[in-house]
Chains A and B, each alone.
Chain A
Amino acid sequence: MGGRGVKVSTSGIGDIQAKIREAKRAARRRALYKFRANKGAVAGAFILGFMLVLAVLGPYIAPEDPYAFDLRRKLEPPSWDSPFGRDELGRDILSRIIVGARYSIGIALASVFLGSVVGVFLGLVSGYYGRVVDSIIQRITDVLLAFPIIILSIALIAVMGVGVTNLVLAIGISTIPVYIRLVRGLTLQAKSREFVIAARAMGKSGFYIMRKHILPHVLPTVIVQSSYYLGFTILIASGLGFLGLGVKPPTPEWGAMLGSGRTYLFSYPHVVTFPGIFILLTALAFNLVGDGLRDALDPRAGAYRR
């Protein structure tokens, strides 16, 4: 009797699992459909795709060597030969923008990845375990949230020094506290839901529950937040580059190009016009995709900015 009972119930569980998989597929299809129906989001995705191609293929498709200078041709305005003109050292601005995509976009991607991974982990732990762990993590979060994000990044750069790795670390660390707050709140919600209570009753370990049950619950909100943050961090990263606190010269990061070109603004505005347009377009694309993802995945999520 007992043996048969178990058999019947396992096949029942198999059915349920198949149904869950089907429901998940349907939810994904629905989300994709909603995203595609949003014209802005599709346009954003196209711009992003284009920028990613530049980032990946940069050096192979750039018409000239972005580092090769020619002082005889310095500050040449746009022409057929160099459509975006040349900078103060006679370097081709178009080539520098194409190769610079990997720095500007790469830094934003890497720092948001770092911030979200660490922030989500700490948020899960803080919300799930509560008590002392929660108190300690939350007090640290309070302190980090007391800094506007760009000021925290500047303070970290001031100590660590400039360079791509330090820039990623500084911006990444600055985005951590918002993820912690966001994920902690969602974890607290999930903790009182049946699926978590059931898993605990089955004796699953904390890390198993966090990974298998709570993480999927918080992920849509984290994805939406990340896409907004990408738009925001690209502005922060290029802003730091503009201030001379980003990458080391002569790296063609877009913000740094603006920073070194601004002296020539009065007579040669083309030096600063084009890198700015690329920063604007990329940030805009991330925000458009963010709006689309929010509508498709998590309509209640708001852009959390600082």
Chain B
Amino acid sequence: MTLAKYVAKRLLQAIPTLIGVVLFMFILIRMLPGDPARLIAGIEATEEDVERIREILGLNRPLYVQFIDYMKDVFTGDLGTSIRFGTPVIGEIMERLPYTIQLALVSEFLAVILGVPLGIMAALRPYSARGYLATVFALIGSSMPIYWMGLMFIYLFSVRLKWLPSSGADSPSSIILPALTLSLLLMGNLMRITKASFQEVLGENYITTVRAKGLSERIVIYRHALKNASVPIITIMGIQLGTLLGGAILTETVFAWPGLGTLLIDAISYRDYPLIQGIVIVFATMFVLINLIVDVIYAIIDPRVREQLWAAEE
């Protein structure tokens, strides 16, 4: 099986999951107690308002017809109309999505450029102070309420030192604090995994061979060891992109970053169910696609994994 075929197969497998995601959200929204149209319209709404919303949501048709129609719409990129804005949901999402992606990528970048070298340092001297530091840092990283850390950063860097803006996305420096906050969610784990996989690789025979050839330690580490230690590191990066999506909701709220997360929280406070439904579906789709991409990258970089994966598929 070629790589292209493998990718195609994984894409096909993702489709039932995505249909399931849409079905799940469809059922969830219909589980709202009472008449959804009345609920969405609010207590003070007139009978016409309620009727209008029922029309918008297509609630006057049989359930399975509603679902098939909704499914058709979703797969053609129509996620319905926002009750609050009266505009297409997909438009609202597309306006905010770049901010969330930008935040996630910058955070991942920060986590990698800080976490990987620190992990390597810790692996080279596992029983020194900095070796333990990596372990402690990883532990605290996975126990940290990042929204609280974000607030503490705002107090230090914006209120006290006045170095960086505390909220919004008006200047290029606005992204620094939110990205730093979100990157903490990943950095600890990244350090821990880097340290562990480096320690393992450094004990292998081929590293001893390269060292015996008299190559400099820098080449040994960055050319030979890093290449072989990279598989678990890339895996954890992929797994954590999902964590990032979740963490983005909290981080965006702390810093009033105009991404999908703040849009979702606003949508909930306005009971804008079509918008909530759309955003959650987009988040889940991104999550499924990220996992798929990680699997594919995995297959590209490690021939052993490639063989295993393909064997498992057949």
Contacts and interface: CB of A to CB of B under 8 A. Distances in A.
Interface in B134-165: 139-140, 142-145, 147-149, 151-152, 154-155, 159
Contacts of B31: 159
A253 to B, nearest CB: 13
Contact of B20 (A142, A243, A273): A142
A146 B143 contact: no
A280 B147 CA distance: 11
A147 B243 contact: no
A242 to B, nearest CB: 5
B265 A146 contact: no
A283 B245 contact: no
Contacts of B24: 143-144
A265 B145 contact: no
B136 to A, nearest CB: 9
A148 interface: yes
B159 A265 contact: yes
A228 to B, nearest CB: 9
Nearest to B148: A276
Nearest to A285: B143
A244 B269 contact: yes
Contacts of A149: 246
A266 interface: yes
A146 B32 contact: no
Contacts, number: 129
A239 B288 contact: no
A247 interface: no
Interface residues of A, number: 46
B284 interface: yes
Consensus secondary structure, chain B interface: helix
Contacts of A142: 16-17, 20
Contacts of A275: 148
B90 interface: no
B264 interface: yes
B20 A235 contact: no
Contacts of A265: 151, 154-155, 159
B142 A231 contact: yes
A105 interface: no
A242 B147 contact: yes
A55 interface: no
Interface string A250-280: 0000010010001001100100110110011
A16 interface: no
A30 interface: no
A147 B280 CA distance: 8
Residue with the highest number of chain A CB atoms closer than 10 Å, among B159, B268, B288:
B268
Nearest to B250: A239
A276 B20 CA distance: 37
Interface residues on B, range: 35 or more
B243 A305 contact: yes
B20 A279 contact: no
Contact of A288 (B139, B242, B250, B269): B139
Given A258-B151, A265-B154, A269-B155, A243 B287 contact: no
Given A147-B287, A242-B250, A283-B145, A159 B29 contact: yes
Contact of B145 (A144, A239, A266): A239
Contacts of A147: 21, 280, 283-284, 287
B139 A287 contact: yes
Interface string B31-68: 11000000000000000000000000000000000000
B286 to A, nearest CB: 9
Contacts of B242: 148, 306
A4 interface: no
A151 interface: yes
Given A156-B28, A284-B140, A306-B242, A151 B21 contact: no
A143 B145 contact: no
Contacts of B152: 273, 276
Contacts of B276: 155, 158
B262 to A, nearest CB: 10
Contact of A154 (B140, B239, B249): B249
Contact of A276 (B23, B28, B145): B145
A210 interface: no
A266 B157 CA distance: 11
Contacts of B140: 280, 284
B169 interface: no
A245 interface: yes
B25 interface: yes
Residue with the highest number of chain B CB atoms closer than 10 Å, among A144, A157, A242:
A242
Contacts of B20: 139-140, 142-143, 146
Interface in B226-255: 239, 242-243, 245-247, 249-250, 253-254
Given A146-B20, A262-B254, 14 more contacts: A40-B139, A143-B21, A147-B21, A147-B280, A150-B246, A151-B246, A155-B28, A155-B276, A243-B265, A258-B145, A258-B147, A265-B159, A275-B148, A283-B143
22 contacts: A143-B20, A146-B18, A146-B20, A147-B21, A147-B280, A147-B283, A148-B283, A150-B249, A154-B280, A155-B25, A155-B28, A157-B268, A158-B268, A243-B265, A245-B265, A258-B145, A280-B140, A280-B143, A283-B144, A287-B139, A305-B243, A306-B243
Query: Lowest 8 A-B CB distances belong to which pairs?
Result: A276-B148, A143-B20, A150-B246, A283-B143, A148-B246, A284-B143, A279-B145, A146-B284
